[in-house]
């Protein structure tokens, strides 16, 4: 895929590979859109650089802020005549892709969203390796613009796609919904793509003499190799038998891994291989040039985490919904225990599902229309709630509620749609 002219940069943040013509990575500071600044270790190379999908919500924003490409690259709000950002519209969606980098989990924040305006509008986020299978990673709102992936994903996984969904229930003004200026990846890994033609003869899996220099050149900036973790992934083009291509990709990945262990100083407990065969092309296989780019071995090298050994809660976001009177409702499991909250009145939900479609428990707020004699979760503002979903898919629900120890249901809330 890439020859020996590639420069590989090891830096805190994003896994990157770029050619000698590219701008070198260097720390840089950018306006965050709210009167402050944020510094990114890799500077301009940290940002999303392709649009996967843009679906404005309803109501939609004015036409001048519906160019999805405005969210690519560095933040540029207010730097020229154009708006410099894209508005999602009420409940709109934007998918961005990192083509020259990858998002991974490291110690601390991993993803930064430059959202324009006096406050960060509620925006749900999800990440994906392939643009099809998504992992919900929480939301930004208020004064929070960054996301830590640690509770949601494996530290061994890298992601190329970010999905943003506006979470407001009602939107007004000329630019309804979240206004996205840029999205930046922050992490600590090195992504190296090695051209198979440099490493192997056609159809073979024994390393050529030239491969040794190519691998060492790519690894030159790595410090303590004995403590670094490496995933070696083999890829082929689509010519020939699918099963045969997968076997070849595994043998090639193993050959490179053996070199790392025997000659390059890596620890056997920290090196693993993956065989993808023809399943993950970077470009179309319809041309000879495309097939050559798809024949590659990729290394993902990760420095030791600064928080190694620190316990991190496991979080599974069950869903985000827009509900009458409740605002945005979020339910998630944290280390197996269900937690819920809604933006209206800073409310939380306590309870559990007693079936796939019914949640029963309590709502708790800081203030409400009734003061109870007893407390729930430290507050005297609470009451029973029963949420009934229309199906096991939990796409929509009706919630019945009452105050304190009342026996009769007082009212109901309805969810209009599910996010993410």
pLDDT of residue 324: 75
226 token code pair: 């004995």
Classified as helix, coil or strand, 231 is strand
Residue 407 to residue 2: CA distance in whole angstroms: 69
Mean pLDDT: which of 98-107, 172-181, 244-253 is highest?
Answer: 244-253
Q: Do the Cβ atoms of 86 and 70 come closer than 8 Å? A: yes
Burial pattern 344-363, b for ≥16 Cβ within 10 A else e, equals: eeebbbebebeeeeebebeb
CA 406 to chain centre: 43
Mean pLDDT of 315-344: 81
59 prior amide bond cis, ω within 30 = yes
What separation, in Å, do the N-terminal and C-terminal C-alpha atoms of the chain show?
A: 34
Residue 290 to residue 261: CA distance in whole angstroms: 31
Alpha-carbon separation of residue 165 from 59, 243, 290 (angstroms): 14, 39, 34
Q: Which of 38-47, 206-215, 230-239, 391-400 has the lowest mean pLDDT?
A: 38-47
Q: Do the Cβ atoms of 91 and 166 come closer than 8 Å? A: yes
Q: Which of 6-15, 122-131, 193-202, 366-375 has the lowest mean pLDDT?
A: 6-15
Residue 126 to residue 104: CA distance in whole angstroms: 13
Q: Which of 35-44, 64-73, 213-222, 233-242 has the lowest mean pLDDT?
A: 35-44
**Does the pLDDT at position 47 exceed 80?**
yes
Strand ranges (E), 129-255 = 134-142, 146-147, 158-159, 161-166, 179-185, 189-195, 229-235
CATH class for the region spanning 190-302: alpha beta
pLDDT of residue 21: 30
Mean pLDDT of 376-399: 92
Residue 295 to residue 10: CA distance in whole angstroms: 24
pLDDT digits (tens, 9 = 90+) for 238-269: 999 999 999 999 999 999 999 999 999 999 99
312 token code pair: 């991190």
Residues paired with 146 in a beta bridge:
112
Q: Do the Cβ atoms of 120 and 142 come closer than 8 Å? A: yes
Q: Tell whether the torsion through CA atoms of 133, 137, 138 and 141 is positive or negative.
A: negative
H or E stretch including 352? strand 347-353
Q: Do the Cβ atoms of 193 and 281 come closer than 8 Å? A: no
Position 17 confidence tier, pLDDT thresholds 50, 70, 90 = very low
Q: Do the Cβ atoms of 182 and 98 come closer than 8 Å? A: no
Q: 256, 268, 231, 34: which is closest to 145 by C-alpha?
A: 34
Is pLDDT larger for residue 171 or for residue 32? Answer: 32
pTM over 0.85: no
pLDDT of residue 174: 62
375 token code pair: 């407390």
Position 236 confidence tier, pLDDT thresholds 50, 70, 90 = very high
Q: What are phi and psi of 68, to 5 degrees?
A: -60, -30
Q: Which CATH topology does 6-187 take?
A: Jelly Rolls (2.60.120)
Position 102 confidence tier, pLDDT thresholds 50, 70, 90 = confident
**Does the pLDDT at position 221 exceed 80?**
no
Position 82 confidence tier, pLDDT thresholds 50, 70, 90 = low
Position 18 confidence tier, pLDDT thresholds 50, 70, 90 = very low
pLDDT digits (tens, 9 = 90+) for 54-78: 999 888 888 888 999 999 999 887 6
Classified as helix, coil or strand, 19 is strand
What's the mean per-residue pLDDT of the chain? 82
Position 6 confidence tier, pLDDT thresholds 50, 70, 90 = very low
Q: Which of 118-122, 144-148, 172-176, 307-311 has the lowest mean pLDDT?
A: 307-311
210 token code pair: 């030239």
Q: 129, 124, 156: which is closest to 332 by C-alpha?
A: 124
Classified as helix, coil or strand, 299 is strand
Classified as helix, coil or strand, 206 is coil
pLDDT of residue 78: 66
Position 312 confidence tier, pLDDT thresholds 50, 70, 90 = low
H or E stretch including 411? strand 411-419
Mean pLDDT of 301-314: 59
């Amino acid at each position: 895929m890439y020859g020996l002219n590639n420069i590989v940069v090891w830096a805190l943040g994003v896994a990157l590979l770029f050619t000698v013509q590219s701008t070198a990575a260097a720390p840089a500071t950018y306006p965050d859109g709210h009167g402050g600044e944020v510094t990114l270790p890799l500077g301009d190379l940290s940002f999303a650089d392709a649009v996967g999908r843009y679906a404005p919500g309803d109501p939609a924003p004015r036409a001048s802020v519906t160019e999805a490409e405005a969210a690519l690259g560095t933040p540029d709000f207010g730097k020229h005549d154009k708006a410099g950002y894209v508005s999602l519209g009420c409940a709109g969606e934007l998918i961005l892709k990192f083509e020259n980098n990858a998002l991974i989990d490291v110690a601390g924040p991993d993803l930064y969203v430059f959202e324009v305006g006096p406050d960060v509008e509620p925006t749900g986020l999800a990440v994906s390796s392939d643009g099809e299978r998504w992992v919900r990673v929480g939301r930004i709102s208020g004064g929070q613009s960054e996301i830590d992936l640690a509770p949601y994903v494996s530290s061994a996984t890298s992601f190329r796609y970010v999905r943003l969904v506006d979470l407001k229930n009602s939107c007004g003004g000329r630019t309804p919904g979240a206004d996205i200026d840029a999205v930046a990846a922050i992490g600590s890994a090195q992504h190296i793509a090695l051209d198979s033609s440099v490493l192997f003869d056609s159809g073979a899996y024994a390393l050529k003499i030239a491969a040794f220099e190519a691998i060492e050149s790519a690894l030159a900036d790595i410090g303590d190799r004995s403590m670094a973790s490496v995933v070696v992934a083999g890829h082929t083009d689509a010519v020939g038998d699918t099963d045969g291509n997968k076997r070849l990709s595994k043998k090639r990945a193993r050959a490179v891994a053996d070199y790392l262990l025997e000659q390059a100083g890596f620890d056997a407990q920290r090196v693993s291989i993956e065989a993808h065969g023809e399943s993950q092309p970077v470009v179309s296989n319809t041309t000879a040039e495309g097939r050559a780019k798809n024949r590659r071995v990729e290394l993902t090298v990760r420095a030791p985490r600064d928080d190694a050994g620190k316990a991190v809660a496991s979080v599974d976001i069950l869903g985000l919904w827009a509900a009458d009177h409740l605002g945005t409702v979020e339910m998630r499991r944290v280390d197996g225990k269900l937690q819920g909250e809604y933006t209206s009145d800073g409310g939380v939900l306590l309870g559990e599902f007693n079936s796939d479609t019914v949640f029963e428990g309590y709502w708790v707020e800081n203030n409400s229309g009734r003061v109870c004699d007893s407390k729930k979760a430290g507050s005297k503002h609470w009451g029973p709630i029963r949420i009934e979903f229309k199906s096991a898919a939990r796409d929509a629900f009706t919630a019945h509620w009452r105050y304190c120890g009342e026996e009769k249901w007082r009212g109901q809330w309805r969810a209009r749609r599910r996010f993410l």
